[in-house]
Amino acid sequence: MCRDTAQRSVTDVGRHFLQIPGPTNVPDRVLRAIARPTIDHRGPAFARLARELLDRLKPVFGTRHDVVVYPSSGTGAWEAALVNTLSPGDRVLAFETGHFSTLWCEMATRLGLVVDLVPGDWRHGADPAAITDLLTAEHAAVMVVHNETSTGVRSRIPEIRDAMDATGHPALLLVDTISSLGSMEYRHDDWGVDVTVGCSQKGLMLPPGIGFNAVGPKALARRGRLPRSYWDWDPIIAANRQGFFPYTPPTNLLYGLREALIMLEEEGLPRVFARHDRHAEATRRAVRAWGLQVLCADEREHSSSLTAVLMPDGHDADAVRSLILERYDMSLGTGLGRLAGRVFRIGHLGHFNDLMLAGTLGGVEMGLLG
């Protein structure tokens, strides 16, 4: 057998390592739950499932209040957060912390909002000190991505809330937790967040297809005038009181969500967060041992869900990713936007243990050695 044929055959055996920052690996328990027969979404068995789910979701968000569930991507949950709270022409203050923060701002602009974007270098999170200088009486909301999936940088949400409170400003705080929910500590109520955006395919260990809004009382009371129908909270919350939805729900994904939430409860959220912290620290130490840089430049803002690795000038991160995929059957996250070709991203979130991390880091190291 020639060497090239032998090399290609490596990818035909064993498991594929899916180490992008989401969608993440789906546990067998969750896959089996999703495979259950579909039931009548207007019947009593579904009502029991829905009530159980809605109760189990609240601790993951750190809230005692309503969590709205949509058959959608996280992008849909972004839109729901905006159209339920804001009116045409409202000003919002947002922070450029990476590719996804800019996409959320672009959506807000298309919806008829005026976005005041605080520029960033994509290596730091949102700056709480900027709140004091930039938040004006015209701002209706502040938009922040808690954990920027494109950069591996976390923003310090409690400090941002404290800065807003110090000004006495009534603006709503809208936070994206798409790549932190279920993987990193997050406290919707205690941190004074008004709307939290989340989705299913990352720390919650599910396939894509469910979006979430955790809704605080201030957001629920201050309803905007942007057009909305499918995304309207009111009919969903009303139907949820009886265990139902105003549209056809993703029943089988909800079976999987229940199983995923049970798994998080069995491990215990503090242990889940500690596991992610440990894996992230181990990954950063490996990156430094390789002689490379972690993209995140502030020790206080390291993500526990993923690590973005900055390649030296003259080296193509996508070439490294392609080599690792071809030789070792491992998928790493690509660089997005201005980071295209400059970084690769290692996902270490969700259903993930020490040996999986050791295999991941070993695969990256072999790829770097060429």
pLDDT at 2: 47
Residue 300: pLDDT above 60?
Answer: yes
Whether the CB-CB separation of 92 and 115 falls below 8 Å is answered with yes
Averaged over 149-160, what is the pLDDT? 98
Residue 370 pLDDT class (50, 70, 90 cuts): confident
215-220: Cβ within 8 A, 24+ apart: 215/65, 215/66, 215/67, 215/68, 215/84, 216/63, 216/65, 216/188, 216/189, 217/65, 218/172, 218/194, 219/84, 219/85, 219/172, 219/194, 219/195, 220/65, 220/66
The percentage of residues in the chain with a pLDDT greater than 90, rounded to a whole number, is 96
pTM of the model: 0.96
pLDDT at 11: 55
Match 């189990």 to its residue by tokens: 56
Match 């750190």 to its residue by tokens: 62
pLDDT at 13: 86
Residue 177: pLDDT above 80?
Answer: yes
Reported as a single tens digit per residue, the pLDDT across 185-204 is: 999 999 999 999 999 999 99
Domain map of the chain by residue range?
A: 17-25+268-369, 28-266
- Find the Cα–Cα–Cα–Cα dihedral 355, 183, 56, 162, rounded to 10°: 160
Q: What is the CATH number of domain 28-266?
A: 3.40.640.10
Task: State the binding site.
Answer: 345
Helix 251-267 to helix 44-61 angle, to the nearest 10 degrees?
Answer: 40
Distance, CA of 171 to CA of 154 (rounded, Å): 22
CA nearest 276: which of 186, 204, 199, 184? 184
Averaged over 149-153, what is the pLDDT? 98
pLDDT at 1: 42
Ordered DSSP codes for 134-195: H--TTEEEEEEESEETTTTEE--HHHHHHHHHHHT---EEEEE-TTTTTTS---TTTTT-SE
Distance, CA of 16 to CA of 292 (rounded, Å): 25
Match 């390789």 to its residue by tokens: 290
Give the Cβ contact number of residue 133 at 10 Å: 11
Distance of CA 242 to the CA centre of its chain: 29
Reported as a single tens digit per residue, the pLDDT across 17-51 is: 999 999 999 999 999 999 999 999 999 999 999 99
Instruction: Spell out the alpha helix ranges (H) of the chain.
Output: 3-9, 28-34, 44-61, 74-83, 99-110, 128-134, 157-167, 217-221, 233-240, 251-267, 269-289, 317-328, 354-369
Round the average pLDDT of the chain to a whole number and report it.
Answer: 96
Residue 7: pLDDT above 80?
Answer: no
Residue 4: pLDDT above 60?
Answer: no
The percentage of residues in the chain with a pLDDT greater than 70, rounded to a whole number, is 97
Task: State the binding site for substrate.
Answer: 345
Residue 146 pLDDT class (50, 70, 90 cuts): very high
Q: What is the CATH number of domain 17-25+268-369?
A: 3.90.1150.10
Look at strands 306-310 and 343-347 and give their pairing.
Answer: antiparallel
Beta bridge partners of 221: none
Residue 10 pLDDT class (50, 70, 90 cuts): low
Reported as a single tens digit per residue, the pLDDT across 69-79 is: 999 999 999 99
pLDDT at 12: 72
pLDDT at 151: 98
Distance, CA of 77 to CA of 75 (rounded, Å): 5
Reported as a single tens digit per residue, the pLDDT across 212-249 is: 999 999 999 999 999 999 999 999 999 999 999 999 99
